[in-house]
Amino acid sequence: MSAAARAAVAAWMAAVFAVAGPAQAGKQDACRLRDIPAADIVAQVPFELVDGRIYVEARANGQGPFRFAVDTGASGLARADAKLVSTLRLPVQGRSANSDGVKVAEVDSVRFDTLQLGGLGRSGIEAITRDYRGRSTPEGAFDGILAREFFADGLLVIDYPAQRLTFSRTKSIASDDRNALAYQRAFRIPLSIGALQAVGNLDTGANVALVLPKALYDRLDAGPLRAAGQGQLANGAVDTWRTTVQGPIRIGNIALSRVEARVSERYPELLVGAHALQQSVLIIDQRSRRLALCPQH
């Protein structure tokens, strides 16, 4: 990495930590939002966990239910598997660019008239489409993805221990709430690994605990590298190694130790994946650009 690039990364991290800092002085705890009164709930649905990933039942164009993954790492509103496109006879509307963090690819896009998750409905939704099932295990196959902007106008609570997803428009994370993490780019949040401060991309759709750029691994108290083959991304693959990060890794109100991680020379940023979240409650408010990661009760 060039000196100019390192300076740019350092400036960006400083800005993230500066935004996050004042949130710790508030009088209310953001983790209070784990439990939302029934009167404030728009949708509350159970979910299934497969290899750390979240699956819910949703209706598309009035049909279904179909199996949708909930993926905060996916931009836009939704994705559609090729089989669902065929089932609903959705015509291709155009082409869209899709990035997996390493490579950009052009993919077809379609349009849903409606998508419905419990009491939360959207209409006129453009979604990229590809053969997701062909790249999944039978247990992990899905018909589509509900991406982060599907939940952009409210508060999303993902309770992993209870396997329950809740959405509210009347509740929110305030700017001065304790245990709230501010972000500038979804969902890059401040964290620490031992004495090292860093910024991590929190991604519920990634079936790993951590992905470390090799340059960051070299700065940590971590175990030796072991070959792990290729890590599959949306548009390709990268060579990876395995290691154990001693930690503690502190993210919001949780701490993790001895975490199994993947290391890549090509992946550009620290990623916090689904396996790091399994004992926690994740609360995201895209209106205030804040989230909270809280222990279970």
Q: Quick: pLDDT tens for 175-198.
A: 999 999 999 999 999 999 999 999
pLDDT of 236 reads 61
> For residue 291, with 0-12 CB atoms within 10 Å meaning exposed, 13-18 middle and 19 or more buried, which class applies?
buried
Domain with CATH 2.40.70.10 in the chain: 3-29+175-276, 38-168
The answer regarding whether domain 38-168 maps to CATH 3.40.50.510 reads no
102: pLDDT strictly greater than 90: no
pLDDT over 70, % of the chain: 86
Contact criterion met (CB below 8 Å) for 26 and 174: yes
Give the pLDDT band (50/70/90) at residue 151: very high
* Residue type, position 141, single letter: A
Separation between Cα atoms, residue 64 and residue 151, nearest integer Å: 20
103: pLDDT strictly greater than 80: no
22: pLDDT strictly greater than 50: no
Q: Which class would CATH give 3-29+175-276?
A: mainly beta
Separation between Cα atoms, residue 181 and residue 187, nearest integer Å: 10
Q: Model's pTM, two decimal places?
A: 0.88
Better-scored residue on pLDDT, 199 or 268: 199
Span 13-30, average pLDDT = 58
- DSSP state at residue 178: B
177: CB partners within 8 A, 6+ apart: 23, 26, 28, 29, 30, 290, 292
Give the chain's end-to-end CA distance (angstroms, integer).
43
pLDDT of 247 reads 85
